[in-house]
C-alpha cells in the first residue's frame, strides 16, 4: 500500500501563515518601541498646592489623563509626541514641550 501526499496545497498555505505571523510580530515590536511614559505633578501658582482633576493631553491626539488627588499624573505618549497640554476650568492652559523628558511638572495660573 502506497500513500501519496499532495503538498501542492499545503505549501502556499504555510507560506501565507508565515507571512501573516511575521507581520503580526513586526507590528507588535514597532508599537511597543514607539511609546514612553511621562509622569509629573501639577500645582497652583499662588499657593503651590496640588491641583486635582487637571486634564493632561498629548497635543494633536486623543490621548489624555487626569491628575489624582495629589496632583500627580502618568501618561503614555507616542515617540512622535511633542507637547503636553494642561487644562483646568478657571486656569490658563499650559503647554509644555516633551523633548526627552520623562518627568514634566506644570504650574497653573488663574485665568
CATH of the domain at 90: 2.60.40.1120
Res 21: pLDDT: 78
Asked whether residue 9 carries a pLDDT value surpassing 80, the answer given is: no
59 in any annotated domain: yes
pLDDT in tens, 46-103: 999 999 999 999 999 999 999 999 999 999 999 899 999 999 999 999 999 999 999 9
**For residue 67, which phi and psi values (nearest 5 degrees)?**
-70, 150
In the prediction, which pLDDT does 12 show? Answer: 75
Check whether 7 has a pLDDT greater than 70.
no
In a domain, 2, yes or no: no
Rounded to the nearest 5°, which phi and psi values hold at 60?
Answer: 85, 5
In a domain, 22, yes or no: no
Cα(73)–Cα(86) distance, integer angstroms: 11
Q: What share of the chain is helix, strand, coil (3-state, %, to 5)?
A: 20, 35, 40
Full-model pTM? 0.71
For the chain, how many structural domains are there in total?
1
- The boundaries of the domain holding residue 63 are 35-108
Domain presence at residue 93: yes
Amino acid at each position: 500500500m502506497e500513500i501519496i501526499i499532495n503538498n501542492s496545497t499545503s505549501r502556499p498555505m504555510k507560506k501565507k501563515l508565515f507571512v501573516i505571523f511575521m507581520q503580526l510580530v513586526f507590528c507588535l515590536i514597532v508599537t511597543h518601541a514607539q511609546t514612553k511614559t511621562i509622569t509629573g505633578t501639577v500645582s497652583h501658582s499662588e499657593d503651590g498646592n496640588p491641583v486635582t482633576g487637571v486634564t493632561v493631553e498629548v497635543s494633536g491626539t486623543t490621548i489624555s489623563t487626569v491628575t489624582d488627588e495629589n496632583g500627580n499624573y502618568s501618561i503614555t505618549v507616542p515617540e512622535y509626541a511633542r507637547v503636553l497640554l494642561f487644562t483646568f476650568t478657571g486656569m490658563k492652559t499650559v503647554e509644555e514641550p516633551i523633548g526627552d523628558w520623562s518627568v514634566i511638572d506644570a504650574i497653573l495660573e488663574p485665568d
